[in-house]
Chain A
Amino acid sequence: MRLGKHVAGKELRVRYIALGAFFVLGLLILSINLYRLMVVRHDEFLSLSQDNQWKDVRIRAPRGQIRDSRSQIVVEGRPSFNVYITPAFCLGCVRDVLPRLAEWLRWESEHFEKISTQIQQATGLLRYRAMMVAGDLARNELDVLNAHLHELPGLEIEVVPQRHYRAGALLAHITGFMNEVSREELEKRRQNLSEERPVYTLGDFIGRTGVERAFEEELRGVDGWKKVVVNARGEVMRDAQGNIIQRDEVAPVSGNTVVLSIDLRLQAAVEQAFERAVAGVAIVVDVKTGFLLALFSKPSFDPNLMMGRQSSRALGELFNNPMQPMLMRATQEHYHPGSIFKPISLLAALRTEVMNEHTLVNCLGGYRLGSRVWRCHRDSGHGWVNAKAAVQKSCDTYFYRAADLMGIDAIAEEAKLFGLGQPSNLGISSEAAGIMPDSAYHDRVTPGGYAKGMALNTSIGQGDVNVTPLQAVMMYAAIANKGTLFQPQLVRRLESLDGRLLKEFSPKVVHHIPMKEKEYRLLVDSLSAVVHEAGGTAFRHRLSHIRVAGKTGTAQVARLGKKRLKTEEVPFFQRDHAWFAAFAAAGEPEIAVVVLNEHGGHGSSDAAPIAMKIIEKYFEFKKLDETGIDSPAFPPQTDEVPPALPGRASQFAQNKFSEVNRAHESTH
Chain B
Amino acid sequence: MKARIERRMFAHWPWSLIGSMVLIAVIGLWNMASASRAPQVPLAGSQAMFLVVGLMVAVVVALLDYRWIQRMVVPAYFLNLAALIALRFVGHKAKGATSWFLIGPWSVQPAEFMKLSLVLMMAKLFHEDFKPESPVYGFRRLLIPSLVALVPAALILAEPDLGTALMMVLTSMTIMVFAKLRWTIVLTLCLAGVVGVGVLWNDYVREQSEPRWTLVRWALKPHQDGRISGWLSPETDLRGVNYHQRQSRIAVGSGGLTGKGWQKGSQSGLRYLPEQHSDFIFSVWAEEQGFIACLGLIILYGVVFISMLLVAYGARERFGAFVAVGFSAMLFWQLFENIGMGTGLLPVTGITLPLFSYGGSSMVSTMIAMGILLNININRRAF
Interface residues of A (CB under 8 A from B): 1-3, 5-6, 8-9, 12-13, 15-16, 19-20, 23-24, 26-27, 29-31, 33-35, 37-39, 41-42, 44-46, 48-50, 52-53, 124-125, 229-233, 237
9 A-B residue pairs with CB within 8 Å: A1-B318, A5-B381, A9-B315, A30-B339, A33-B343, A37-B249, A39-B256, A53-B272, A232-B272
**Chain A residues whose C-beta falls within 8 Å of the C-beta of B239 in the assembled complex:** 124-125
B158-166, B206-214, B286-294, B364-372: which one contacts chain A? B286-294
Q: Which residue of B lies closest to A54 (CB)?
A: B266
- Chain A CB count within 10 A is highest, among B250, B298, B320, B339, for B250
Are B316's CB and A38's CB within 8 A?
no
Task: Provide the bound-state CA to CA distance between A401 and B257, in Å.
Answer: 101
Q: Which residue of A lies closest to B294 (CB)?
A: A34
**Chain B residues whose C-beta falls within 8 Å of the C-beta of A229 in the assembled complex:** 270
The reply to whether the CB of B328 lies closer than 8 angstroms to some CB of chain A is yes
**Chain A residues whose C-beta falls within 8 Å of the C-beta of B247 in the assembled complex:** 52, 232
- For the complex of A and B, list the 8 residue pairs with the smallest distance between their C-beta atoms, beginning with the closest: A45-B253, A231-B270, A49-B254, A38-B291, A232-B271, A37-B253, A42-B256, A45-B254
Task: Provide the bound-state CA to CA distance between A231 and B251, in Å.
Answer: 14
Task: Provide the bound-state CA to CA distance between A20 and B345, in Å.
Answer: 22
**Chain B residues whose C-beta falls within 8 Å of the C-beta of A42 in the assembled complex:** 253-257
Known: A16-B313, A34-B295, A34-B343. A52 touches B272 (CB 8 A): yes
**Chain B residues whose C-beta falls within 8 Å of the C-beta of A1 in the assembled complex:** 127-128, 130, 317-318
Interface residues of B (CB under 8 A from A): 127-128, 130, 174, 178, 180, 239-240, 243, 247, 249-257, 266-267, 269-272, 286-287, 290-291, 294-295, 298-299, 301-302, 305-306, 309, 312-318, 320-321, 325, 328-329, 332, 335-336, 339-340, 343-345, 381
Known: A34-B343, A38-B253. A8 touches B316 (CB 8 A): yes
Known: A37-B249, A38-B291, A48-B253. A20 touches B309 (CB 8 A): yes
Task: Provide the bound-state CA to CA distance between A461 and B56, in Å.
Answer: 109
**Set B240, B313, B343: member contacting A37, Cβ < 8 A:** B343
Task: Provide the bound-state CA to CA distance between A8 and B123, in Å.
Answer: 13
Are A23's CB and B332's CB within 8 A?
yes
Known: A20-B305, A27-B302, A53-B266. A34 touches B252 (CB 8 A): yes
Task: Provide the bound-state CA to CA distance between A5 and B127, in Å.
Answer: 15
Known: A20-B309, A48-B253. A38 touches B270 (CB 8 A): no
**Chain B residues whose C-beta falls within 8 Å of the C-beta of A53 in the assembled complex:** 266, 270, 272
**Set B251, B267, B318, B328: member contacting A8, Cβ < 8 A:** B318
**Chain B residues whose C-beta falls within 8 Å of the C-beta of A37 in the assembled complex:** 249, 252-253, 343-344
Q: Which residue of B lies closest to A28 (CB)?
A: B298
Task: Provide the bound-state CA to CA distance between A30 and B342, in Å.
Answer: 10
Are B130's CB and A38's CB within 8 A?
no
**Chain B residues whose C-beta falls within 8 Å of the C-beta of A24 in the assembled complex:** 302
Task: Provide the bound-state CA to CA distance between A45 and B267, in Å.
Answer: 11
- Chain B CB count within 10 A is highest, among A30, A42, A45, A231, for A30
Task: Provide the bound-state CA to CA distance between A38 and B318, in Å.
Answer: 42
Are B272's CB and A27's CB within 8 A?
no
Task: Provide the bound-state CA to CA distance between A30 and B240, in Å.
Answer: 26
**Chain B residues whose C-beta falls within 8 Å of the C-beta of A52 in the assembled complex:** 247, 250, 266-267, 270, 272
Distance (Å) between the CB of B148 and the closest chain A CB? 19
Are B325's CB and A46's CB within 8 A?
no
Are B270's CB and A232's CB within 8 A?
yes
Known: A30-B298, A39-B291, A124-B243. A19 touches B255 (CB 8 A): no
**Chain B residues whose C-beta falls within 8 Å of the C-beta of A5 in the assembled complex:** 316, 381
- Chain B CB count within 10 A is highest, among A1, A37, A46, A229, for A37
Distance (Å) between the CB of B382 and the closest chain A CB? 12
Distance (Å) between the CB of B138 and the closest chain A CB? 18
**Chain B residues whose C-beta falls within 8 Å of the C-beta of A49 in the assembled complex:** 250-251, 253-254, 266-267, 272, 287
Are A3's CB and B291's CB within 8 A?
no
Are A16's CB and B312's CB within 8 A?
yes
Distance (Å) between the CB of A143 and the closest chain B CB? 32
**Set B257, B301, B313: member contacting A27, Cβ < 8 A:** B301
Are A8's CB and B321's CB within 8 A?
yes
Task: Provide the bound-state CA to CA distance between A26 and B252, in Å.
Answer: 19
Task: Provide the bound-state CA to CA distance between A273 and B231, in Å.
Answer: 76
Distance (Å) between the CB of A40 and the closest chain B CB? 9
**Chain B residues whose C-beta falls within 8 Å of the C-beta of A9 in the assembled complex:** 312-315, 321
**Chain A residues whose C-beta falls within 8 Å of the C-beta of B336 in the assembled complex:** 26, 30
Task: Provide the bound-state CA to CA distance between A38 and B255, in Å.
Answer: 6
Distance (Å) between the CB of A158 and the closest chain B CB? 23
Task: Provide the bound-state CA to CA distance between A48 and B178, in Å.
Answer: 44
**Chain B residues whose C-beta falls within 8 Å of the C-beta of A41 in the assembled complex:** 253
Task: Provide the bound-state CA to CA distance between A13 and B128, in Å.
Answer: 20
Distance (Å) between the CB of B51 and the closest chain A CB? 24
**Chain B residues whose C-beta falls within 8 Å of the C-beta of A2 in the assembled complex:** 317
**Chain B residues whose C-beta falls within 8 Å of the C-beta of A125 in the assembled complex:** 239, 243
**Chain B residues whose C-beta falls within 8 Å of the C-beta of A26 in the assembled complex:** 332, 336
**Chain A residues whose C-beta falls within 8 Å of the C-beta of B335 in the assembled complex:** 27, 30
Are A38's CB and B286's CB within 8 A?
yes
Distance (Å) between the CB of A2 and the closest chain B CB? 7
Task: Provide the bound-state CA to CA distance between A38 and B343, in Å.
Answer: 10
Task: Provide the bound-state CA to CA distance between A35 and B298, in Å.
Answer: 12
Are B317's CB and A8's CB within 8 A?
yes
**Chain A residues whose C-beta falls within 8 Å of the C-beta of B299 in the assembled complex:** 27
Are A39's CB and B257's CB within 8 A?
yes
Task: Provide the bound-state CA to CA distance between A33 and B340, in Å.
Answer: 9
Task: Provide the bound-state CA to CA distance between A59 and B269, in Å.
Answer: 26
